[in-house]
């Protein structure tokens, strides 16, 4: 299930970043390879959709990060109003 959050930080030279879930909780780490599209580096406060993966060490990571456009946000709001 897709979750949503805002980029907290991204260091392109280290190839790592963090995203803070909208629904609360601790920030999740991700790697450059976890970005679905890497044409533009993520910037703090950008909204991304992502999936969650638990690693063997018990930590939770964000994977398959996808930047959310305004169109996506409007679709989500419309669907939420129907419920």
Task: Report how many helices (DSSP H) and strands (DSSP E) the chain contains, helices first.
Answer: 1, 5
Residue 69 has, within 13 A of its CA and on its CB side, a CA count of: 2
Q: Please write the tens of the pLDDT for every residue from 6-36.
A: 999 999 999 999 999 999 999 999 999 999 8
In this prediction, residue 37 has a pLDDT band, given cuts at 50, 70 and 90, of confident
Phi first, then psi, for residue 72 (nearest 5°) are -60, -45
Residue pair 13/32 in contact by the 8 Å Cβ criterion: no
Domains and CATH numbers, the chain: 3-77 (2.40.50.140)
Q: What is the pLDDT of residue 73?
A: 53
In this prediction, residue 41 has a pLDDT band, given cuts at 50, 70 and 90, of confident
In this prediction, residue 82 has a pLDDT band, given cuts at 50, 70 and 90, of low
């Amino acid at each position: 299930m897709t979750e949503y959050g805002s980029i907290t930080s991204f260091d392109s030279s280290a190839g790592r970043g963090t995203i803070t879930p909208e629904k609360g909780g601790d920030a999740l780490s991700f790697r450059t390879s976890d970005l679905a599209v890497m044409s533009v580096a993520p910037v703090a406060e950008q909204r991304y959709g992502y999936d969650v993966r638990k690693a063997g060490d018990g930590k939770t990571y964000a994977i398959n990060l996808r930047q959310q456009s305004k169109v996506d946000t409007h679709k989500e709001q419309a669907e939420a109003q129907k419920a």
